[in-house]
Amino acid sequence: MSDIVRPYGDTTGDGMVQLSFTLPIPHDKRAEGAALQLAAKMGMDPAMLVHAKQMGDGFTFFVVYGRVNHLVDVSKVEVVERDYPLLSAKDVNAAVKRGLRRKLSVVGACIGTDAHTVGIDAILNVKGIAGEKGLEYYRELKVTNLGAQVTVPELVAAAQRERADAVLVSQVVTQRDAHLHNTREMSAAFREALPAERRPLLVVGGPRFDETMAGELGVDRIFGRGTTPGEVASYLVHALVNA
């Protein structure tokens, strides 16, 4: 199979893509023309407007469909591959009990103004997600879920109080790169508050994170959308017990 690929729409290699966006203008013929002009400037030729709908006062949502000439070299795509085995809950518990001889302490939160707890709850709460139980289910993990809108100082204090081995932070709000600013603030606060040998593992997750930016953001690991509690638990064992 070739490493060079082209988008697929109606037939193989036709280069057709679908794009959606919102413009801050009311819906009329001029707005539709503006949407097609934008699509053309983005390299869609020809571009067809397939959907337009007024979204509140002075905003219009568009869907355009058209051909692009860009190719993708799959061999040059950089991703973070899972570099540790995926363990069952039984194996995680056994590894922690054998390796630490105490419970592994995990503190989780949504920091800053982020009030979206769905992600952190899916990983931490016993009910988990999609039939897979969260970290509270693991008997050798001690989980403290601080919930939403936790300040960085509050998170650092809780991590110290709970003697956290790992801190898990979920960030869904991304306006003006809030998730990046919050993560950098958090990592800097932990570096200032604790010496390296006492610093917990810092893990962040959310749908808009680039998993390759962990070093740049000062954290140990980034998880993207679709991450399961089992993946996180297995990583904790890999990083804290089997390292």
Taking only the tens of pLDDT, the chain with its 243 residues reads 678 999 999 999 899 999 999 999 999 999 999 999 999 999 999 999 999 999 989 999 999 999 999 999 998 888 878 889 999 999 999 999 999 999 999 999 999 888 888 889 999 999 998 889 999 999 999 999 999 999 999 999 999 999 999 999 998 877 788 889 999 999 999 999 999 999 999 999 988 889 999 999 999 999 988 899 999 999 999 999 986
The most distant pair of C-alpha atoms in the chain lies apart, rounded to whole Å, by 69
Q: Are strands 4-5 and 72-73 parallel, antiparallel or unpaired?
A: antiparallel
Residue 1: the pLDDT is: 60
- State CA 179 to chain mean position distance: 10
Amino acid of residue 199: R
Half-sphere exposure of 151 (CA within 13 A, CB side): 3
What's residue 84's pLDDT? 92
pLDDT at 226: 87
Query: What is the C-alpha separation between 38 and 33, in angstroms, rounded?
Result: 9
**Residue 72 pLDDT:** 92
pLDDT value of residue 20: 97
CA 3 to chain centre: 27
Question: What pLDDT, on the 0 to 100 scale, is given for residue 243?
Answer: 64
Task: Based on the residue annotation, tell me whether 53 is a catalytic residue of this protein.
Answer: no
Contacts (Cβ under 8 Å, ≥6 apart) of 139: 93
Active-site residue among 53, 90, 127, 133? Answer: 127
